[in-house]
Copies of this chain bind each other. A is one copy, B any other.
Amino acid sequence: MSTADEKYELITRRLQEVLGGDTIKAILDEGRSPKCYWGTAPTGRPHIGYFVPLTKIADFLHADVEVIILLADVHAFLDNLKAPLELVTHRANYYEHLLKAVFTSLGIPISKLRFVLGSTYQLSKEYNLDNYKLCVTVTEHDAKKAGAEVVKQVESPLLSGLLYPGLQALDEEYLGVDMQFGGVDQRKIFTFAEHYLPKLGYAKRAHLMNSMVPGLAGGKMSSSDPDSKIDFLDTPEAVRRKIKKAFCEEGNAEENGVLSFAEAVLIPINQLRHERQKGDALLEAGLGDQKPFVSDGAPEGTVFTIEREEKFGGSTHYQSFADMKADFISKALHPKDLKTSVANGIIRLLEPIQQQFKTSEEWQKEEKLAYPDPNAKDKKKKKEKVYHPPPPGKGKNAAPSAPSGDVPVVAPGPEVVHAATELAKQQPETPAS
């Protein structure tokens, strides 16, 4: 059994920032288990950046934290009307399948996690009354400021972007947690929650933030550039191709998605694997080879091995990420070697997840429903030709007129679809929290 201090260290290690750590300490000092939630809005398609928070959740479980995974379907709907509610429902199902597969593959016991679907409580009378209470308390200015990092600032912003921070604050109360965990891009939403929940008479919660892993193109991972991020179902070839293309300038450790992935995902998972080898009581067997990202002959304490053929100088075994980064900056570690090792690591992480996908008909079905092929739709629409009878005095032999049945007719959707398209552009490209 760990001490309160050890647990606090576990809960907060590798995080970029902790707000309200004292309240977490106080709970631990009383011998209680803190309750935490991590939420994700199933708007788009999750990418491997999700490994960062999911791996961190192992630390929480090790420290006896009660962890809730919120599948924030109502938030997703608010954030992406492009997806009507039934599409969001399928996406939430897809996310749940995926998250469970990732946890299982890593050996993080899903029996210790509680999965909650937002719509199970976010449409209740009490929740909505509280939302209204917030709306007579929160100024437009504060709501806009809170969403500035997550909601893209466009010329004609929609009301939904202003509601988003308040709903996320209320989730803390309605999930009954002591703290919320998310990416540091959520910082303004978190401080908003700290400011406003007490105004409704609710407790101010602690906030734990992991740093953001840059996309492969250097900046934030972007949905509009599929090569900037790796999908959980990407083939090994696709992974190698994307990593090869990735921005990873020799000697430059800034905005380096490849180096950052090693730091934020591969090294922590390596640590999990070491712990399991040492007989960790919490972790399950995991799926796939479960070998640490370290060569067989590596010395004790190695956190990552860059494998190189002997003729190119042989492998390098790093005792810390700091050493590895220093080598990269000094150009002792070449981008090509880094990329090869990181790509190998990613492929090994994805393999057991893709195995689960291949064996789960239900998950495959949800994937099809959640992300219908846009090209398939277009083809179908093109077939729907509608015959418009020519107006009197016109017809086959009449003079050229306005486009008629020969032009593929796409039924115009209600105008709301255009607003939704607009909204889709505002969708955060990183995990929602």
Contacts and interface: CB of A to CB of B under 8 A. Distances in A.
Interface string A188-206: 0000000000111100000
Interface in A137-196: 137-141, 143, 156-160, 162-163, 166
A133 interface: yes
A159 B133 contact: no
A132 B78 contact: yes
B140 A140 contact: yes
**What is the oligomeric copy number?**
2
A34 B156 CA distance: 37
A417 to B, nearest CB: 9
Contacts of A85: 129
Contacts of A139: 156-159
Given A128-B128, A159-B163, A162-B159, A419 B123 contact: no
Interface string A115-143: 00000000111001100111111111101
A272 interface: no
A200 B158 CA distance: 15
Contact of A423 (B81, B136, B199): B136
A136 B123 contact: no
A85 B81 CA distance: 32
A101 interface: no
A333 to B, nearest CB: 46
A416 to B, nearest CB: 4
A135 B156 contact: no
A135 B123 contact: no
Interface residues of A, number: 41
A160 B130 CA distance: 12
A138 B158 contact: yes
Nearest to A123: B125
Nearest to A195: B415
Contacts of A143: 159
Contacts of A136: 77-81, 158-160, 419-420, 423
A141 B161 CA distance: 13
Contact of A78 (B135, B138, B416): B135
Contacts of A128: 123, 128
A74 interface: yes
A92 B71 CA distance: 38
Contact of A159 (B78, B81, B138, B416): B138
Given A128-B123, A158-B140, A133 B163 contact: no
A403 interface: no
Contact of A416 (B123, B141, B166, B200): B200
21 contacts: A74-B132, A77-B136, A80-B136, A81-B133, A81-B136, A81-B137, A85-B129, A123-B129, A135-B158, A135-B160, A135-B163, A136-B158, A136-B159, A136-B160, A136-B419, A139-B156, A139-B158, A140-B162, A143-B159, A159-B163, A159-B166
